[in-house]
Amino acid sequence: MGRTDTLNGAVILMVILIVILFLFLLSIPFIISFNPKLSLIFSSAIYLLLSVFLLFSLLFGYAKLPLSLPFSIQLSELFGLRSSTSDHITYLTTIPYLKFSYLFDSLSLFFGFLIAFLGFISSLYSFNYLYEEHYKNKSLFVILFNGFIISMLFVVFSANGLSFLIFWEIMSILSFFLVLFEYEKEESKKAANLYIIMTHIGTFFIFLLFLYMFMKTGSFSFETWKHLGISGGLSVAGMTIIFILTLLGFGMKAGIFPLHVWLPKAHPEAPSSVSALMSGIMIKTAIYMMIRFYFEFMKSYGWGFGFTILLIGALTLIYGVLNAGIQDNIKRLLAYSSMENIGIMLMALGLAMIFYSQDMYLLCAFAMMALLFHIMNHALFKGLLFLGSGAIASQTHTKNMNKLGGLVKKMPAASFIFLIGVLSASTLPPFNGFVSEWMIYQSLLMASSVNIEIIKVFTPIFASVMALAGGLAALAFVKAYGISFLGRARSQGANSAKEPPFLMLVSMGILAFLCFLLGIFSFIGLMPINKVVKEITDISIYKNITISYGSIVTLPKYSLGVVSPLGLLAAGVIFMAAVYLFIKIFGNMKIRIFETFACGLENKDVYNFSDAQISKDVCNAGTSNNHEGNNDNTNNDNINAYTKINNAQYSSTGFSQPLRRIFEKIYNIKENLINEEYKRKYFFPVKNYIFKAGDLFECFYNSFASKFLEKISKLRAYIQGGVVQTYIAYIVGTLIILLIWVSWFYHAG
């Protein structure tokens, strides 16, 4: 970027922003000490301003953003921006190698914009959500939440390995605390533990990676690393090491295929506005770093790396979507769907890398654009879906879809907004998910022009995998929407649900509107992305994409297909109108208004399980063995036990049963049908059906870890016997060995 005309209006705006941000950071403790609401409104305003500013600086190339930090700032440096010609800002510290330097190129500005925007939405949402969920320590939430967003911003703006690691760790730890926010729940504790362990293993690999880069370049600065890529100072072995370490380190955060175990556990446990942020943008900071590594720090690698990423992406995609299909916890379903989307992003990334390695920059730019657009779209619709699930959970007090149902009548606005999110996520036109995924399909098909046999053979297979995944994702989301919003209430909580408060609806509505807008007029979203792509690949692809009639997206040179979301919308509207008119004119349609059909129950409330209760009381004679009751109390959504008698209506578990049977091998499912009664064996027997869907890989890791830990602990118990004399003997033994060694060396030398 390298501009020198920094003292313009933008700088003044920027300085004002900094001042506001500082005041905000300093005033947090005072504000929240009496009012979390005020603080959240304040912070959402800040994030809105920040996101607008970041978007504008991305689009129109405003000056750098000195997000000045409380780390050894030199004021002269802060205001001496005119002298620095690059888009780096560096603050030195007294610790060697530790520099807090920040980079404001278009890639980081793009991610920063997404973070700030989603931060704005979720703090707006939290304004009501905190009170709806009746959290006890609201002030703590505000502190952690703002800290989390700010640390993510610093992660993407960091331009130095060490400062990056510091903010990365702050981000991980704050998100750990947010996952642990409802710390009384056993599930939260388990999920948070798993999350912190796995994320630290990931950080360990990132550490190794940065140390390797340091060994190669003698510096932690990203600028120097970029020079390493340009100068081609890396051997093939070196690049392979970097590639594997990035995959392990950042893949852990992104939740790629075998390392995903924490993701479906941690996301459902966090408060919904936080899981929207975690799923919407936090896991993508890993993709951000992958882009940095594969397109800036590494150059001229073979196609194998890209192909590996493509393969891992396909595995992540199919595994995520298959698991999403069988979940009963709505937030866990969304978390697995996030994993699926990470798979799609990785496929786009892999394609971009393949094209990049073959010097096909136009195609690379197209795949890159698809990737970034999908990141943006996923942030929007997954944010929307998580916020929507939060609205459901806060109104019905359960996340288990087997206890939802009939919400479309209780919360019509929220269910409409959620429907838009669902349609986006299952990649249907005219919503944004469709456009970006269509672009990725295009890139996959365009890969046939690469002159490598394996890629020519495999990319159609990947395309079909993606198509399969698209179908399965539609299944999962039909289930998510149909079971929780349609039909009749399956529990008391769902029956007494109300429309969520205004600001929750507004924040979700903004996202839904953007999903629609970017679906119809996708060029709006592609405009800022074009800047990013141009900086990475030196090709401005925006002009190469034919955008006639406002919305058609394609590459004319490799034209395989043309699509117009606007045209699709128009076609859809015309078709629907035609069908409606046809029925209206020719059909014999009498409108009958009747109670919702719930698979043949009597005309009484389904959630009213007095029958079961009575039979239970008779059978068990007072022993409280009611699994459903237990479920409600502990809110344990993982294990799904309920009496069979109440579930004449199609349940979530029932809906996914075919999927479970077909893909039995890749699930880790425990099913049990238990006879509950003791006396009445033949008349109206009460049975409990227990169903538990776990992750296959979690099971695998657990068994491995338990075997390993068993051996270690046996050894430890043997060495550490608990007798004081033994410990002294260890010390003396060491001393004597050292003495002998020293004297021997002394005499020898």
Partner 1 sequence: MLNIASFIELMGAFVLFFAILQTASHRVDFSIKVYSIQSLFLSITIFVMGIHSNNGELYLSSFLTFAIKVVAIPFFLNKVTRRISIREKIIPYINMTNSVLITGAITIFAFFITKGDFASHEFIARRVFPTALAVILIGVFIMIARKKAIIQIIGFLTLDNGIILAATSITKGLPLVVDIGVFFDVFIGAIMAGVLIYRIRTSFDSLDTSKMSNLKE
Residue from 79, 732, 734, 737 touching partner 1 (CB under 8 A): that is 732
Stretch that binds partner 1, among 117-125, 263-271, 614-622, 719-727 (CB under 8 A): 719-727
Edge to edge, the sheet with strand 668-675 lists: 639-643, 687-694, 668-675
Rounded distance, CA 656 to CA 365, Å?
39
Cβ contacts of 481 within 8 Å, gap of 6 or more:
418, 419, 422
Cα angle 278, 279, 282 (rounded to 5 degrees) comes to: 45
Task: Please say whether the beta carbons of 528 and 640 come within 8 A.
Answer: no
Q: Which stretch binds partner 1 (CB under 8 A): 349-357, 509-517, 592-600, 715-723?
A: 715-723
- Residue whose CB is less far from partner 1, 8 or 713: 713
User: Residue 246: which of 194, 282, 193, 202 has the closest Cα?
Assistant: 202
> Which lies closer to partner 1 via its Cβ, residue 258 or residue 733?
733
As measured in angstroms, the least distance from the Cβ of 197 to partner 1 is: 22
Residue 747 is a binding residue for partner 1 (CB under 8 A): yes
Question: Does residue 674 belong to the site contacting partner 1 (CB under 8 A)?
Answer: no
Q: How far is the CB of 490 from partner 1 (least distance, A)?
A: 46
Angle (CA) 607-608-614 rounded to 5° is 130
Question: Residue 162 CB, nearest distance to partner 1 (Å)?
Answer: 39
Can you tell me the distance from the alpha carbon of 293 to that of 502, in angstroms, rounded to the nearest whole number?
43
Q: Nearer Cβ to partner 1, position 235 or 734?
A: 734
CB of 741 to partner 1, least distance (A): 10
Please list, in sequence order, all residues whose beta carbon lies within 8 angstroms of the beta carbon of residue 548, skipping any fewer than 6 positions away. none
**Residue 517 exposed, middle or buried by CB count within 10 Å (0-12, 13-18, 19+):** middle
Quick one: 603 exposed, middle or buried, by C-beta within 10 A (0-12, 13-18, 19+)? exposed
Binding mask 556-595 for partner 1 (x = CB under 8 A): ----------------------------------------
Nearer to partner 1 among residue 665 and residue 747 (C-beta) = 747
Q: How many CB atoms neighbour CB 439 within 10 A?
A: 25
Q: Which of 670, 721, 734, 737 binds partner 1 (CB under 8 A)?
A: 721
Question: Cβ closer to partner 1: 80 or 721?
Answer: 721
- Span of 49-57, 469-477, 529-537, 721-729 interacting with partner 1 by CB under 8 A: 721-729
Residues across the chain: 749
How many whole angstroms separate alpha carbon 65 and alpha carbon 153? 12
Q: Is 147 helix (H, G, I), strand (E, B) or coil?
A: helix
Closer residue to partner 1 in complex, CB, 12/729: 729
Using CB under 8 A as the binding rule, whether residue 715 contacts partner 1 is answered as no
Binding segment (CB under 8 A) for partner 1, from list 39-47, 239-247, 248-256, 725-733: 725-733
Which stretch, 5-13, 230-238, 660-668, 740-748, contacts partner 1 (CB under 8 A)?
740-748
CB-nearer residue toward partner 1: 593 or 731: 731
Residue with smaller CB distance to partner 1, 634 or 743: 743
Provide, rounded to whole angstroms, the least separation between the CB of residue 717 and partner 1. Answer: 9
Task: Identify which of residues 527 and 735 has a Cβ nearer to partner 1 in the complex.
Answer: 735
CB of 723 to partner 1, least distance (A): 5
Nearest-approach distance from CB 731 to partner 1, in angstroms: 8
Burial readout 292-328 (b: 16 or more C-beta within 10 A, e: otherwise): bbbbbbbbebebbbbbbbbbbbbbbbbbbbbbbbbbb
Please provide the DSSP assignment of 216-285 as one string. HHS--BHHHHHHHHHHT---HHHHHHHHHHHHHHHHHHHT-GGG-TTHHHHHHHS-HHHHHHIIIIIHHH
745 binds partner 1 (CB under 8 A): no
709 binds partner 1 (CB under 8 A): no
CB-CB contact of 431 with 423 (8 Å): yes
Q: Are 491 and 398 in contact (CB under 8 A)?
A: yes
Least gap, CB of 396 to partner 1 (angstroms): 44
719 lines the binding site for partner 1 (CB under 8 A): no
Give whichever of 502 and 741 is closer to partner 1, judged by the CB atom: 741
**Opening angle at CA 618, ends 616 and 620, nearest 5:** 60
Identify which of residues 71 and 730 has a Cβ nearer to partner 1 in the complex: 730
Dist. CA 103–CA 210, nearest whole Å: 17
Tell me the Ramachandran region of residue 550: left when phi exceeds 0, alpha when psi lies from -120 to 50, beta otherwise.
Answer: left
Task: Identify which range of 242-250, 258-266, 504-512, 720-728 contacts partner 1 by CB under 8 A.
Answer: 720-728
- 728 part of the interface to partner 1, by CB under 8 A: yes
Per DSSP, what are the bridge partners of residue 89?
Answer: 102
* Strands 668-675 vs 639-643: parallel, antiparallel or unpaired: unpaired
> Interface with partner 1 by CB under 8 A: which range of 256-264, 301-309, 692-700, 741-749?
741-749
Q: Could you tell me the two tokens for 585? A: 């004119």
CA 491 from centroid of its chain's CA atoms: 30
- Number of other residues whose CB lies within 10 A of the CB of residue 226: 17
Dihedral of CA atoms 623, 625, 630, 636 in degrees, nearest 10, equals 150
Is 23 or 742 the residue whose CB approaches partner 1 more closely? 742
Question: Radius of gyration over alpha carbons of the chain, in Å?
Answer: 28
Stretch that binds partner 1, among 264-272, 389-397, 505-513, 726-734 (CB under 8 A): 726-734
Q: How far is the CB of 186 from partner 1 (least distance, A)?
A: 23
* Min dist. Cβ of residue 192 to partner 1 (A): 25
Give yes or no for residue 746 binding partner 1 (CB under 8 A).
Answer: yes
Verify binding: residue 725, partner 1, rule CB under 8 A: yes
# binding residues, partner 1 (CB under 8 A):
18
Report in angstroms how near the CB of residue 710 gets to partner 1 at its nearest: 16
Q: Which of residues 525-554 bind partner 1 (CB under 8 A)?
A: none
Taking the complex as a whole, the smallest distance from the CB of residue 410 to partner 1 amounts, in Å, to 53
**Do 6 and 82 meet the contact criterion of CB atoms below 8 Å apart?**
yes
Q: Which of residues 597-616 bind partner 1 (CB under 8 A)?
A: none
Q: Is 94 helix (H, G, I), strand (E, B) or coil?
A: coil
CA-CA distances (angstroms) from residue 175 to 33, 253, 274, 343, 663? 22, 12, 8, 22, 33
Minimum Å distance from CB 749 to partner 1?
A: 11
Compare residues 576 and 736 and give the one whose CB is closer to partner 1: 736
Binding flag, residue 737, partner 1 (CB under 8 A): no
Q: Which is nearer to partner 1, 16 or 738 (CB)?
A: 738
For residue 749, state whether it binds partner 1 (rule: CB under 8 A).
no
Q: Which is nearer to partner 1, 7 or 715 (CB)?
A: 715
**Which residues are near partner 1 by CB under 8 A?**
720-725, 728-729, 731-732, 735-736, 739-740, 742-743, 746-747
